[in-house]
């Protein structure tokens, strides 16, 4: 037992003497080995690639290079006609259809159909829309004209045999026909016409007039029902109205065709007439002359002024004409 205790006490000393390094330095050896192993396992860090040398700019940012020629000018724009290219294309197609189909049919309608029969068709269709006219006069706070319109409707629907005869428009009653609609009501309260449009089967119109006319034409079929809400009524009514319009405005359409720019003449004529309609609701004179000659003269003057302004802008623009460096 004594020997065993002695050997136990001498064991640390023997271990210390067997090591080539002092006991205090053993942990340092282990740390060095761990660092070497970590260096072998860790991936190599990629070195950033060398950037090519920057090419010096010929001019500072925001500065115009000396070898650039600047030409400034203005681009002509047509206010109120943002779809001018599409409208002009549709207008050209409509003119071809008019010349090939509508005009010949309108001539047959006018020459071969007796005038009393044509007038009866026109009066019948006008009479059907009279309640819509009266409603819009009420919306425009014109009760007198609304009452006259309703009076026309009552007289012509009874004495005039369903509106075929315009009894109310003759002596001694003399109540004139006044076309009205939601588009007029919107214009009366200051709603602008919106973009000008040329649509198939409709022709020249504006966004305001398209919305108003669509709602006007939907009221009567919705209230009266069949057969006024079917194609058996809608197609003949549209055809008769188109032929009547073609007859009434034949001279104006001829003037449009003879103008230098038929599309431009159509647009200005339509917009001018609609301006006059809205002005009449306010008891004001037309704001401008709506004849084709006057309208085209005004357009020519505006275009000439615009071209002169463009030339002045180009002349006053700074122009740099330095030679381009080789």
For residues 252 and 225, the answer to whether their CB atoms sit within 8 Å is no
pLDDT at 146: 97
Residue 13 domain-assigned (yes or no): no
Q: Treating both helix axes as pointing N-terminal to C-terminal, what angle do 84-97 and 262-281 enclose, rounded to 10 degrees?
A: 100
**Residues 6 or more apart from 35 whose CB is under 8 A from it?**
none
Residue 32 domain-assigned (yes or no): no
Beta strands in the chain (DSSP E): 196-199, 203-206
Residue 95 domain-assigned (yes or no): yes
* Rounded average pLDDT over 108-112: 93
pLDDT at 313: 65
For residues 304 and 217, the answer to whether their CB atoms sit within 8 Å is no
Residue 174 domain-assigned (yes or no): yes
Per-residue pLDDT tens digits for 47-104:
555 555 555 545 555 555 555 444 443 444 577 899 999 999 999 999 999 999 999 9
Largest CA distance in the chain: 156
Distance spanning both ends of the chain, measured CA to CA:
107
262-286 CB burial, b ≥16 within 10 A, e <16: bbbbbbbbbbbebbbbbeebeeeee
Two tokens at 167?
Answer: 């009894």
Residue 29 domain-assigned (yes or no): no
pLDDT at 166: 97
Instruction: Provide the mean pLDDT of the chain.
Output: 81
Q: Give me the percent of the chain exceeding a pLDDT of 90.
A: 59
Distance CA 208, CA 194 (A): 6
- With CA atoms as reference, report the closest residue to 118 among 202, 233, 241: 241
Per-residue pLDDT tens digits for 249-266:
888 999 999 999 999 999
pLDDT at 312: 66
Residue 256 domain-assigned (yes or no): no
**Residues 6 or more apart from 200 whose CB is under 8 A from it?**
90, 93, 94
Distance CA 12, CA 9 (A): 7
Per-residue pLDDT tens digits for 185-212:
999 999 999 999 999 989 999 999 999 9
- With CA atoms as reference, report the closest residue to 209 among 139, 262, 263, 271: 271
C-alpha dist (Å) from residue 193 to 93, 120, 184, 275: 24, 33, 10, 9
pLDDT at 29: 42
SS (H, E, C) 260-287: CCHHHHHHHHHHHHHHHHHHHHCCCCCC
Residue 177 domain-assigned (yes or no): yes
* Rounded average pLDDT over 137-145: 97
* Rounded average pLDDT over 28-36: 47
Per-residue pLDDT tens digits for 264-320:
999 999 999 999 999 999 999 999 999 999 999 998 888 888 777 766 666 666 655
Residue 66: other Cβ atoms inside 10 A: 13
Is pLDDT above 90 for 140?
A: yes
pLDDT at 2: 41
Is pLDDT above 60 for 12?
A: no
pLDDT at 324: 52
pLDDT at 6: 41
Beta strands in 33-156 (DSSP E): none
Q: Treating both helix axes as pointing N-terminal to C-terminal, what angle do 143-158 and 115-139 enclose, rounded to 10 degrees?
A: 150
The structural domain count of the chain equals 1
For residues 123 and 165, the answer to whether their CB atoms sit within 8 Å is yes
* Upstream peptide bond of 227 is cis (omega within 30 degrees of 0): yes
- With CA atoms as reference, report the closest residue to 237 among 95, 43, 229: 229
Strands 203-206 and 196-199: antiparallel
Give the DSSP letter of residue 25: G
For residues 123 and 159, the answer to whether their CB atoms sit within 8 Å is no
- Per DSSP, the three-state class of 205 is strand
Q: Return the residue matching tokens 């085209």.
A: 296
Distance CA 84, CA 266 (A): 12
Residue 101 domain-assigned (yes or no): yes
Domain extent, residue 198, equals: 84-249
**Is pTM beyond 0.85 here?**
no
Distance CA 150, CA 113 (A): 30
């Amino acid at each position: 037992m004594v020997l065993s205790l002695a050997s136990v006490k001498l064991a640390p000393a023997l271990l210390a003497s067997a090591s080539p390094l002092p006991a205090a330095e053993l942990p340092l050896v282990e740390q060095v080995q761990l660092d070497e192993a970590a260096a072998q396992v860790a991936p190599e860090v990629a070195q950033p690639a060398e950037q090519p040398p920057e090419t010096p700019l010929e001019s500072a940012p925001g500065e115009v290079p000396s070898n650039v020629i600047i030409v400034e000018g203005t681009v002509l724009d047509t206010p109120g006609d943002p779809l001018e290219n599409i409208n002009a294309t549709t207008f050209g197609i409509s003119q071809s259809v008019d010349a090939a189909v509508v005009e010949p049919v309108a001539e047959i309608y006018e020459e071969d159909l007796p005038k009393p029969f044509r007038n009866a068709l026109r009066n019948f269709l006008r009479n059907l829309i009279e309640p819509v006219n009266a409603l819009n006069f009420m919306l425009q706070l014109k009760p007198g004209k609304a009452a006259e319109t309703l009076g026309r409707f009552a007289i012509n629907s009874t004495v005039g045999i369903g509106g075929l005869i315009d009894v109310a428009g003759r002596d001694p009653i003399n109540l004139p026909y006044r076309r009205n609609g939601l588009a007029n009501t919107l214009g009366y309260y200051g709603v602008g016409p919106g973009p000008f449009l040329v649509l198939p089967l409709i022709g020249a119109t504006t966004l305001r007039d398209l919305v108003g006319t669509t709602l006007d034409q939907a009221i009567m079929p919705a209230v009266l029902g069949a057969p006024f809400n079917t194609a058996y009524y809608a197609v003949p009514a549209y055809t008769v109205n188109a032929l009547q319009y073609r007859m009434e405005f034949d001279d104006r359409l001829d003037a449009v065709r003879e103008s230098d720019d038929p599309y431009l003449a159509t647009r200005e004529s339509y917009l001018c007439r609609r301006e006059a309609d809205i002005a009449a609701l306010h008891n004001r004179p037309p704001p401008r002359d709506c004849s084709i000659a006057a309208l085209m003269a005004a357009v020519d003057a505006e275009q000439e002024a615009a071209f002169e302004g463009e030339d002045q802008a180009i002349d006053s623009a700074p122009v740099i004409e330095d030679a381009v460096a080789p």
